[in-house]
Homo-oligomer: A and B are copies of this chain.
Amino acid sequence: MSFDWSEFEHVTKVDPAKRHPESIDVLRHTDAVIVGGSDGVTEENSLAVFERLRAEFPDLPLVQEPYRSAHVSKRTVEVADAVFVPAVYNGDKTNFVEKHVGFFTELARKSEDVTGSGLPFVGSVLASKGRELVDGVVGEGYVVQNPDSKVAGLTNVEEHYTPEQVAGAALATESFYGFPIFYIEYSGRYVGPEDVSAAAPFLDETALLYGGGIRSRAQTDEILDAGADAVVVGDCFHEDTERFLETVPTT
């Protein structure tokens, strides 16, 4: 599946390690779901979420966003529409090039049993020089802007980017790395649209996502008006589905 971001404005991030609402019916109002978290994620709890989501919403685009390759398996790849691999610009080296080269070394090395229980298409990937795999695994240029968040600890973020650096990272994403997504992550803290406004002018083909602390439609609108393609809402979904509904844009 390729993602047409012009169709998406509201994405929900579902953390497999967190408590889920009894009814997930509110997800009929979101455009896509990213399954991932920063703590306690496993292949098994990821799969459980995918299977529940797929059962209730057969047509909803589902993405896996792993933070370790062990979260990815033949079964998760089969059930998810895509795998987004974060590339954290302001994290340490182990969360950027080292992780990526390691991940692709693993894929290149093994024709079966890759990253856990085996990616079924790796044999043909080897034969066709990586083409099949490419369609499913894409990079997300990531800026982690809340130093107190779990994800900042996980990726060893030491540097909060200025809006100018966010703009530079956006331009590098589109012009240099060619990742299809640029993601500004404030993890639970809403601080306004400044970074989104800084990044948006430099992104043409790249989708701009913002996540962090969105709890109202006014905040969603403010971020979309500043030039984001979509907001990503996470905590609300786990904590309060009524409030979650209020983050969905009216369009």
Contact = CB atoms under 8 A, between A and B. Distances in A.
A129 B177 contact: no
Nearest to A131: B204
Contact of A130 (B129, B138, B204): B204
A102 to B, nearest CB: 7
A171 B97 contact: no
Interface in A68-86: 85
Contacts of A197: none
A171 B204 contact: no
Chain A contact residues, majority secondary structure: helix
Interface string A183-204: 0000000000000000001111
B107 A176 contact: no
Instruction: Choose among A97, A134, A174, A178 the residue with the greatest number of B CB atoms under 10 Å from its CB.
Output: A97
B168 A202 contact: no
Nearest to A204: B129
A201 B130 CA distance: 9
Contacts of A139: 176-177
Given A96-B96, A204-B130, A167 B108 contact: yes
Interface of A: 85, 87, 89, 92-93, 96-97, 100-109, 126, 128-131, 133-134, 137-139, 164-165, 167-172, 174-178, 201-204
A105 B161 CA distance: 11
Given A89-B101, A96-B93, A168 B106 contact: yes
B171 A108 contact: yes
Nearest to A102: B168
Given A93-B93, A131-B204, 19 more contacts: A85-B176, A87-B97, A89-B101, A103-B168, A104-B172, A104-B176, A105-B164, A105-B168, A106-B168, A108-B167, A108-B170, A109-B167, A109-B168, A128-B204, A130-B175, A130-B202, A134-B175, A137-B176, A177-B177
A104 B168 contact: yes
Contacts of A105: 164-165, 167-169, 171
A100 B172 contact: yes
Nearest to A200: B129
A58 B177 CA distance: 31
Instruction: Choose among A100, A107, A171 the residue with the greatest number of B CB atoms under 10 Å from its CB.
Output: A171
Instruction: Choose among A100, A128, A131 the residue with the greatest number of B CB atoms under 10 Å from its CB.
Output: A100
Contacts of A87: 97
